Amino acid sequence: MADLAPIYDLMRGSELNERVGGADPEQVGRFCHHNITLNMEIKPGDRILDFGCGIGRVLLQVANKADPSATIVGMDIMPEVIEFCRDHVTAAFPNVSFELIEGANTHYDKFIDRPAARSKREIIDIYGASFSKAYAFSVFTHVDQPDFPTLLSFVKDLLADHAEFLFTCFILTAYSRAAIRNQTATFKFGDMAFESNEKIFVGNRRDRLAFIAYDIGFLEDMIHRAGFVIAHVHYGAWRGCGFGSSLQDVVVVRKPVGA
């Protein structure tokens, strides 16, 4: 196992840590890795995708605990986080690589100052149908409705048949809707709005993608349209209920044969 302490120290000292959510990167990484282990078994030889890897808070934990025969690719749209990962993570783990991919996101666009190294088409040509496991922490919590199924479908195209994909998001259920309205959710929302017949909730209308939540039925439909099948949903503690294996809601989907 590699000594991750110096890399986490670099993250703590970097302004990039705030861009990917703040908090202590090692704690977040351990917590998310634990969540992966509750939901999927990473095996020797697995090909793993960290979609929206940021500065690699979670990827470091996965790389350190996986068998060295597993390979991991981190992908993100922000040039500086991919540079950080290439400079500091690849040196410690030769089985890990990173790709700067094209993509737009109004919450992150101000940090995208150059064209992506690879288009989505190129990424599919290189990695299409190759990953056996994938995860995306705190990515689909920042994706708007028109992009959500498209992005899910892009990830699906990168996965092999039967591959599992764990992603976090915020889900509107009877309970979470009440928590939002009664201000008992973990997050306090200011200029918030329910939109599209209450199927979508944004926590701040001036920065829509800082917190975006989707109705459970609407989400199921987007997942289905993207070609995935839901395996499990675990509701998170953000609803203010005082329990949950994660702060955010966790959805685990699988790619059926031929999708």
Query: Which residue from 60, 72, 81, 252 is in contact with ligand SAM, where contact means CB under 6 A?
Result: 81
Nearest CA among 222, 221, 78 for reference residue 144:
222
Q: How far apart are the first and last CA of the chain?
A: 37
Which residue has tokens 């990173």? 98
Provide the residue count of the chain. 259
Q: Find the binder of ligand SAM among 11, 60, 63, 78 (CB under 6 A).
A: 78
Contact between residue 143 and residue 212 where contact means Cβ atoms under 8 Å apart = yes
Give the tokens for residue 118: 């690879």
Q: Write down the least CB distance from residue 81 to ligand SAM, Å.
A: 5
Angle at alpha carbon of residue 61, lines to 106 and 213, rounded to 5°: 35
Phi-psi category of 23—alpha, beta or left, where left has phi over 0 and alpha has psi -120 to 50?
A: left
User: Smallest distance from the beta carbon of 100 to ligand SAM, in angstroms?
Assistant: 10
Contact pick of 40, 60, 151, 253 for ligand SAM (by CB under 6 A): 151
d(CA 50, CA 218): 25
Which region among 5-13, 138-146, 178-186, 187-195 touches ligand SAM (by CB under 6 A)? 138-146
Q: Does 208 bind ligand SAM (CB under 6 A)?
A: no
Q: Which is nearer to ligand SAM, 105 or 132 (CB)?
A: 105
Per CB under 6 A, which region of 51-59, 92-100, 126-134, 251-259 contacts ligand SAM? 51-59
Closest approach, Cβ 146 to ligand SAM, in A, equals 12
Question: Which residues of the shown chain bind ligand SAM in the complex (CB under 6 A)?
Answer: 20-21, 52-54, 57-58, 76-78, 81, 103, 105, 108, 137-139, 142, 151
